[in-house]
Chains A and B, each alone.
Chain A
Amino acid sequence: MAGVVKAPGAFAITPHKVSVCILVNIYASPSQISVPFPFSSVSQHNRLGLYLLALTKSCDDILEPKLDQLINQLREVGGLLDHWLTDHVTSRLSSLSSPDDLFNFFNELRETLGGPDSGVMEDDQVILDPNSNLGMFLRRCILAFNLLTFEGICHLLTNIGIYCKEAISSCSSYELRRVDDSGNDLESLSEYENMDLNLVFKKINEEMEARKRATEQVSFHLHLPKELSTLVEDIEVFADPKSEHNDKGRESSSYASGELLRDVDPNGGVFLSTNWQIQGYLMEQADAIEKHGSSFTLNAFELTLRQLQKLAPELHRVHFLRYLNNLYHDDYFSALENLHRFFDYSAGTEGFDFVPPAGCNSFGRYEIALLCLGMMHFHFGHPKKALEVLTEAVRVAQQHSNDTCLAYTLAAICSLLSEIGFSTTSGILGSPFSPMISVGTSLSVQQQLFVLLKGSLKRAESLKLKQLVAANHLAMAKFDLTHVQRPLLSFGPKTSMKLRTCPIIVCKELRSGYHLISEFCCEGSTMTADGAFSTAWLKNLQKPMGSLVLSQDNGSRNNSNPFLFFTQPSSIPGSVMQLVGSSYLHRATAWEIYGSAPLARVNALVYATCFADASSSSDAALVHVKLIQHLAVFKGYKEAFAALKTAEEKFLCVSKSRILILKLQLLHERALHRGHLKLAQQVCDELGVLASSVTAVDMELKTEASLRHARTLLAAKQFSQAAAVAHSLFCMCYKFNLQVESATVLLLLAEIHMKSGNAVVGLPYALASLSYCQTFNLDLLRASATLTLAELWLSLGSNHAKTALTLLHGAFPMILGHGGLELCARAYITEAKCYLSDPSFSVSRNPELVLDPLRQAADELQALEHHELMAEAFYLMAIVFDKLGQPEQREEAASSFKNHVMSLDHPHDVEDPIQSDTLLNA
């Protein structure tokens, strides 16, 4: 209960602690020799001591290990002594049969402790220092026992009884066997041990088959010879751990959430013993949910959580996990319900470790609840609601002077503003922001966003929240990438500003994101929780010293330990890796926009190779999308579709949409190139549907869908409609400040006018696009705009061919260096056309000047199956050959031309597997 704080982790005495006490007693038995009786060497003695230290450190439990688990651990530690140790522990435990025995036992324990004046003791006597770890533990146990009521002692006694009985009943059968008939059966056992199990099974099967054949109507109660039946039993003994091992190996590799079920289950092999481990487990699962999104199994994990809640009803974090689980499975109502429940119970004080506990006031931190609620609305695509909630979060955080939360909230608002297109925030971003936006509300959304970003960054820096700083740098980079900085003041002295984006600033911001990783390398250790170390050590115990008799079994247990891989403290937390990874993604995107294909590819590749483990599935999918798009543009569709297939397998159900969108994009482009206009329109419509899904309108996708729609119309030669679509698209882009997209749309408009024969109308659009490109440093787009401009000039008449050619040659380095196949081919063809239409140019004198680019173009277009441009190239070639008087080659080119024109007119000859199966899917 939040109001009345219970004594945190009241130390209760349990059977497990009693057995630890027994062990401590053995370790420090009051004898006169330095190495007490059962131990043969000092190192053996020390080893037990270390083990006990680890045990006592991990004693704040939810679930404690059972006796048999303790015995198994003892076997690892005790080495030769394990018999003696386990026997001693069990016999001592079972000798406790009445309350009085317990009293005596704890009295004995007291003798192990040295008095406060332990200075007078002899040197070689083993006496526990009461202030040492073990001594403290003993004292706590004794104190807890003394505080027990008589009823409590009775419970302890019954629990000890159960504890021993369970150990005996659930103790693996080999244990019993070893105790019972260790003498005679051991040899035969080890014999079977080395035998190939499959072989034995096969033999049995064969024998059964043979018997079946011999007696036709054999009953099911096959009377196996006794030997054989015992054989089967023996095999089961060995087969069991092995199958379990396989089982676990598979599950742990696939982040199975079912793990805990077995872990909580008292009969399971591995147990979640400590509070730390439970918390760690939950944290791990939270990461997994966030990473894998909807592929995480909803119901299995829900079951686990329910069980956990039953065991520990006051462990409220379970509700949070449930919220996350529901969130990523798009269950709005349960998510909302669980979020509220979690914060009602925990008052925001549980589970948020990033908040320094020092500044914690007694009134709960409900602002965190608001922050989470805001993010939830954001996730579900209710930006307006999210903004309202986050506004309230800002206000409450300010009121409670929770600066950390404030910084996070501001960052959340920034990402909300930058990701979802608001045309206006007036009325939403109200009074609470006034200290930050002192300039007033006359600013545009973008300017407000900029101010918020700056403020958030400053705040994060002053609070030394490194991850947030890095995230803010990334957001800043993103902002700088697509926005021109304008002076915020509309009056007063203005410094002269270049009205263009600055790639250097973007780079700087991205780079400052990297610093994060180096800082975490130095202080990474403080991030992992204390308890993790002792448990990691406990796990590693099993590694080095296995007893020889059951080595096979040990091996399997080591591998099957699902905790091994995450209890080892890694120096860099996953979230940091994710951040650093996403800075690479940002880089790739930045280069994509700036038009450097190789650099974009390199960065995407770095991400895919180095951060694949840490990345969330949607990010990983994004990188794949980028790489495949690159392939499509530079290598043609065949390779792209092959890659797409592997990607589809990899992200089978995970974030399907992103891969699906890519597939649609590729299909659309290919359909356009091949001239399958109907198909193109269909795919385009599908994209449009995806853009406004149930969750939210994806502005980016929406823009793209209508851009593609305009392109399809253009290809169908419906110029006025295409122009109308493009125009309304431009209006939308302008409204939502999508300036990079505006450049593309303008270019498209120019193209539409050029194709419709209105080159004069097209020119201003091309020029406007060019100026946009210049402002935002979109070099590749600029080159392609220049190309369009050249084409426009060319279509104005042959006397402009020189101008066109100059323009084209200016753009050539960029196009050839970074442009895709289509762009290069277009440039080549245009070059050839320029030459051809230039009256001062004579073909016969310099045929290669024309033929060479045409051949290049034809080659490159081959991969794209771009029939229209190919036809054009071959047509030009035929003309050139005709002029050169080479009829054979002319005929060849002409027939190619004819082929391409034919296939453009009859697009449905080619059967395409991928295309048909998408349509089925869709």
Chain B
Amino acid sequence: MSSKESCRIELRTAIRQLSDRCLYSASKWAAEQLVGIEQDPAKFTPSNTRFQRGSSSIHRRFRTNEITSTPPTGVAYVSTPVMEEDEAIHGDFYLLAKSYFDCREYRRAAHVLRDQTGKKSVFLRCYSLYLAGEKRKEEEMIELEGPLGKSDAVNRELVSLERELATLCKNNTIDPFGLYLYGLVLKEKGNENLARKVLVESVNSYPWNWSAWSELQSLCTTVDILNGLNLSNHWMKEFFLASIYQELRMHNESLSKYENLQGMFTFSNYIQAQIAKARYSLREFEQVEVIFEDLLRNDPYRLEDMDTYSNVLYTKECFSALSYLAHRVIMTDKYRPESCCIIGNYYSLKGQHEKSVVYFRRALKLNKNYLSAWTLMGHEYVEMKNTPAAVDAYRRAVDINPRDYRAWYGLGQAYEMMGMPHYALHYFRKSVFFQPIDSRLWIAMAQCYESEQLHMLEEAIKCYKRAANCNDTEAIALHRLAILHRELDQPEEAAFYYKKDLERMEAEEREGPNIVEALMFLATHYKTQKKFEEAEVYCTRLLDYTGPERETAKSLLRGMRIAQSGFPSMDVEHFHP
């Protein structure tokens, strides 16, 4: 990786260039990374590093493997020369146009630049037109909703923009920003292949435009497409890869990339949040919570990715923390899909599902393709026993992203609730296909097989076995496996699983009827097997519990003693066959 200083210089220039072209979210991203680069503490006063101090605790706690900032061997990063500004003298018109743009008067901005021919002016004009069209489209989408969902709202500027940008592209008088816009337009028009090509060209010649990378990412839906991209090796590519791996559910690869990047951008909030998201997908909730707490301390008004945090709080049933978060986001910006989602989660945790649905609905109104809101709304409908609505919501989530295993799982659950286990199996199968490491899915599927209508116990056992193999935190699988084997009259296997279950419960120091059940079975099982020593061990353990089992254990012990002393011949028979 290039040195921190050169990175910093590159980013500084890029931020200036990006914000000069009104590509604000990209410049925001770049600035976040710029500040995220670890400063040399010798050079700076404490006030400069104040921003970075707070986050150091977490690094101490969680950076078990020290990450070196050296890049993997054999990778040479190309240094892309920082682009020279083509218009040394900013036209006055450009300044006016930019002010209009900053006031969100896009059409006015475009109008001011109508006769300018510099690359920068052309870009800003096209970009303003594009945004004007987008704004109008969004408005129209709400205004014109037909009975069958038909909404022919389109960005009316796309056609003329495409024509103009294509000509520029052909004449080779287009800069990377123009290419980015061209890619955007092409994507919107549905010409994905060309869009991908154009965007790759854009990021190769100007890698610091994160928006271009994000657009590119949305066009890479499979690993094959990703591998087909011809990207030059800039350090920005690492960010891209980390992000796309996460999207493609290659969480471990993504995590390692991010941790690698953290070596350089030690204090980047963005990377921290992404790591939290990756860990969330790996179901490491404890760590995620810590990361997010830390993140919020440094950046209390952050909204991005906070829905993930709320999901963690929801799973951990932290009522007050979740309400605190909800309060905070609503004070920051109540009309953000993330905010609505967090509030929805809060109401859901409180069991007020109707209200929760209202907020998820609002989130979806703000962003129709907000995947997790569809899924979460489906969950709420399931809670409200409105299965058709739940099915519908889940199905929409699945149609937006067919790899969303939660929605598949939800569909399966909904159908199971309606007493259609066989039909539900199809969905569970889909769900485990996309997320084979989640024990809950396997357990759900097994329960489906186990249901009295299907009663396919062999298949259920197979599923439980898979569940037991993938870190079944609630320890359902082992217990069920033991019971199923007992029901199928396979005492050896049943004993094996009871024993495993018992070991596990001991390790986790759990108490409950399951222990007694396991002990009871094992005692009787070993007794019938004539392995009296083992049987005795279990019987004595049973004596610690109250209830009828205790008495049974006593009588078992008594019986065994009689058998051992009273009928020695049997012992001989048994031990010397």
Is A12 an interface position by the 8 A CB rule?
Answer: yes
Which residue of the partner chain, among B140, B150, B391, B427, contacts A312 with CB atoms under 8 Å?
A: B150
Size of the chain B interface, CB-CB below 8 angstroms: 33
Which residue of the partner chain, among B150, B386, B395, B415, contacts A313 with CB atoms under 8 Å?
A: B150
Q: Which residues of A contact B423 (CB under 8 A)?
A: 366, 369-370, 373, 389, 392
Decide if A2 touches B389 in the complex (CB within 8 Å). Answer: yes
Q: Which residues of A contact B426 (CB under 8 A)?
A: 336, 340
Is B419 an interface position by the 8 A CB rule?
Answer: yes
Which residue of the partner chain, among A7, A341, A345, A373, contacts B147 with CB atoms under 8 Å?
A: A7
Q: Which residues of A contact B143 (CB under 8 A)?
A: 149, 151-152, 155
Decide if A6 touches B418 in the complex (CB within 8 Å). Answer: no
Decide if A364 touches B387 in the complex (CB within 8 Å). Answer: yes
Query: What is the bound-complex CA distance between A311 and B143, given in angstroms?
Result: 17
Which residue of the partner chain, among A2, A149, A389, A395, contacts B391 with CB atoms under 8 Å?
A: A2
Decide if B420 touches A396 in the complex (CB within 8 Å). Answer: yes
Decide if B150 touches A2 in the complex (CB within 8 Å). Answer: no
Known interface pairs A3-B386, A366-B418, A395-B419. Does A62 touch B148 (Cβ–Cβ under 8 Å)? yes
Decide if B389 touches A395 in the complex (CB within 8 Å). Answer: no
- Residue in B closest to A148 when the chains form the complex, CB atoms: B143
Q: Nearest-CB distance from B431 to chain A (Å)? A: 13
Is A492 an interface position by the 8 A CB rule?
Answer: no
- Residue in B closest to A62 when the chains form the complex, CB atoms: B148
Is A201 an interface position by the 8 A CB rule?
Answer: no
Known interface pairs A149-B143, A344-B395. Does A395 touch B388 (Cβ–Cβ under 8 Å)? no
Interface centre among A4, A152, A344 (most CB of B within 10 A): A344
Known interface pairs A345-B395, A396-B420. Does A313 touch B389 (Cβ–Cβ under 8 Å)? no
Is B392 an interface position by the 8 A CB rule?
Answer: yes
Q: Which residues of A contact B392 (CB under 8 A)?
A: 1-3, 344-345, 347
Decide if B387 touches A363 in the complex (CB within 8 Å). Answer: yes
Q: Nearest-CB distance from B562 to chain A (Å)? A: 44
Decide if B140 touches A389 in the complex (CB within 8 Å). Answer: no
Q: Nearest-CB distance from A437 to chain B (Å)? A: 17
Which residue of the partner chain, among A151, A366, A389, contacts B415 with CB atoms under 8 Å?
A: A366
Q: Nearest-CB distance from A159 to chain B (Å)? A: 9
Query: What is the bound-complex CA distance between A149 and B391, given in angstroms?
Result: 33
Binary CB contact string for chain B from 46 to 80 against chain A (1 if under 8 A, 0 otherwise)? 00000000000000000000000000000000000
Is A388 an interface position by the 8 A CB rule?
Answer: yes
Q: Which residues of B in the span 151-176 have a Cβ within 8 Å of any Cβ on A?
A: none
Which residue of the partner chain, among B146, B381, B453, contacts A395 with CB atoms under 8 Å?
A: B453
Q: Nearest-CB distance from B370 to chain A (Å)? A: 15
Is B26 an interface position by the 8 A CB rule?
Answer: no
Is B394 an interface position by the 8 A CB rule?
Answer: yes
Query: What is the bound-complex CA distance between A660 and B415, given in angstroms?
Result: 43
Q: Which residues of B contact A369 (CB under 8 A)?
A: 423
Known interface pairs A1-B389, A62-B150. Does A341 touch B395 (Cβ–Cβ under 8 Å)? yes
Query: What is the bound-complex CA distance between A618 and B393, given in angstroms?
Result: 40
Query: What is the bound-complex CA distance between A62 and B147, given in angstroms?
Result: 9
Is B321 an interface position by the 8 A CB rule?
Answer: no
Which residue of the partner chain, among A152, A314, A364, contacts B388 with CB atoms under 8 Å?
A: A364
Is B178 an interface position by the 8 A CB rule?
Answer: no
Q: Nearest-CB distance from B394 to chain A (Å)? A: 7
Q: Which residues of B contact A344 (CB under 8 A)?
A: 391-392, 394-395, 411
Decide if B149 touches A313 in the complex (CB within 8 Å). Answer: yes
Q: Which residues of B in the span 388-403 have a Cβ within 8 Å of any Cβ on A?
A: 388-395, 399
Q: Which residues of A contact B422 (CB under 8 A)?
A: 370, 388-389, 392
Is B231 an interface position by the 8 A CB rule?
Answer: no
Q: Nearest-CB distance from A427 to chain B (Å)? A: 9
Q: Which residues of A in the span 274-306 have a Cβ within 8 Å of any Cβ on B?
A: none
Chain A interface residue count: which class? 35 or more
Interface centre among B381, B388, B415, B453 (most CB of A within 10 A): B388
Q: Which residues of B in the span 401-458 have a Cβ within 8 Å of any Cβ on A?
A: 411, 415, 418-423, 426-427, 453-454
Binary CB contact string for chain A from 717 to 760 against chain B (1 if under 8 A, 0 otherwise)? 00000000000000000000000000000000000000000000
Is A609 an interface position by the 8 A CB rule?
Answer: no
Q: Nearest-CB distance from B387 to chain A (Å)? A: 7
Known interface pairs A345-B392, A345-B395, A366-B423. Does A3 touch B148 (Cβ–Cβ under 8 Å)? no
Q: Which residues of A contact B149 (CB under 8 A)?
A: 312-314
- Residue in B closest to A370 when the chains form the complex, CB atoms: B423
Q: Nearest-CB distance from B452 to chain A (Å)? A: 9
Query: What is the bound-complex CA distance between A828 and B218, given in angstroms?
Result: 83
- How many A-B pairs fall under 8 Å by CB? 90
Is A549 an interface position by the 8 A CB rule?
Answer: no
Is B144 an interface position by the 8 A CB rule?
Answer: yes
Query: What is the bound-complex CA distance between A366 and B387, given in angstroms?
Result: 11
Q: Which residues of B in the span 520-554 have a Cβ within 8 Å of any Cβ on A?
A: none
- Residue in A closest to B452 when the chains form the complex, CB atoms: A431
Q: Nearest-CB distance from A144 to chain B (Å)? A: 12
- Residue in B closest to A389 when the chains form the complex, CB atoms: B422
Interface centre among B386, B399, B423 (most CB of A within 10 A): B423
Query: What is the bound-complex CA distance between A679 and B389, given in angstroms?
Result: 63
Decide if A312 touches B148 in the complex (CB within 8 Å). Answer: yes
Query: What is the bound-complex CA distance between A703 and B152, given in angstroms?
Result: 59
Q: Which residues of A contact B389 (CB under 8 A)?
A: 1-4
Q: Which residues of B contact A312 (CB under 8 A)?
A: 148-150
Query: What is the bound-complex CA distance between A155 and B148, given in angstroms?
Result: 18
Binary CB contact string for chain A from 336 to 352 against chain B (1 if under 8 A, 0 otherwise)? 10001100110100000
- Residue in B closest to A10 when the chains form the complex, CB atoms: B147
Query: What is the bound-complex CA distance between A395 and B148, given in angstroms?
Result: 33
Binary CB contact string for chain A from 361 to 398 against chain B (1 if under 8 A, 0 otherwise)? 01110100110010000000000000011001001100
Query: What is the bound-complex CA distance between A312 and B421, given in angstroms?
Result: 32
Decide if B453 touches A392 in the complex (CB within 8 Å). Answer: yes
Decide if A314 touches B148 in the complex (CB within 8 Å). Answer: yes
Query: What is the bound-complex CA distance between A62 and B148, given in angstroms?
Result: 8
Decide if A6 touches B147 in the complex (CB within 8 Å). Answer: yes
Query: What is the bound-complex CA distance between A152 and B142, given in angstroms?
Result: 10
Known interface pairs A336-B426, A366-B423, A392-B453. Does A155 touch B144 (Cβ–Cβ under 8 Å)? yes
Q: Nearest-CB distance from B368 to chain A (Å)? A: 11
- Residue in A closest to B139 when the chains form the complex, CB atoms: A151
Q: Which residues of B contact A347 (CB under 8 A)?
A: 388, 391-392
Q: Nearest-CB distance from B449 to chain A (Å)? A: 12
Q: Which residues of B contact A345 (CB under 8 A)?
A: 392, 395
Query: What is the bound-complex CA distance between A520 and B343, given in angstroms?
Result: 58
Is A435 an interface position by the 8 A CB rule?
Answer: no
Decide if A3 touches B420 in the complex (CB within 8 Å). Answer: no
Q: Which residues of B contact A493 (CB under 8 A)?
A: none
Decide if A155 touches B386 in the complex (CB within 8 Å). Answer: no
Q: Which residues of B contact A12 (CB under 8 A)?
A: 146-147
Q: Which residues of B contact A399 (CB under 8 A)?
A: 419
Binary CB contact string for chain A from 7 to 33 against chain B (1 if under 8 A, 0 otherwise)? 111101000000000000000000000
Q: Which residues of A contact B140 (CB under 8 A)?
A: 155
Q: Nearest-CB distance from B393 to chain A (Å)? A: 7
Is A666 an interface position by the 8 A CB rule?
Answer: no
Q: Which residues of A contact B399 (CB under 8 A)?
A: 341
Is A315 an interface position by the 8 A CB rule?
Answer: yes
Q: Which residues of A contact B150 (CB under 8 A)?
A: 62, 311-314
Query: What is the bound-complex CA distance between A336 and B423, given in angstroms?
Result: 11
Query: What is the bound-complex CA distance between A4 and B386, given in angstroms?
Result: 10
Query: What is the bound-complex CA distance between A241 and B392, given in angstroms?
Result: 46
Q: Nearest-CB distance from A882 to chain B (Å)? A: 76
Query: What is the bound-complex CA distance between A389 and B420, given in angstroms?
Result: 9
A-B contact pairs, 10 of them (CB 8 A): A62-B150, A315-B148, A345-B392, A364-B388, A364-B391, A366-B420, A370-B420, A389-B423, A392-B421, A395-B419
Q: B residues engaging A (CB < 8 A)?
A: 139-140, 143-144, 146-150, 381, 386-395, 399, 411, 415, 418-423, 426-427, 453-454
Q: A residues engaging B (CB < 8 A)?
A: 1-4, 6-10, 12, 62, 149, 151-152, 155, 311-315, 336, 340-341, 344-345, 347, 362-364, 366, 369-370, 373, 388-389, 392, 395-396, 399
4 closest A-B pairs by beta carbon, nearest first, are A3-B389, A314-B149, A344-B395, A312-B148
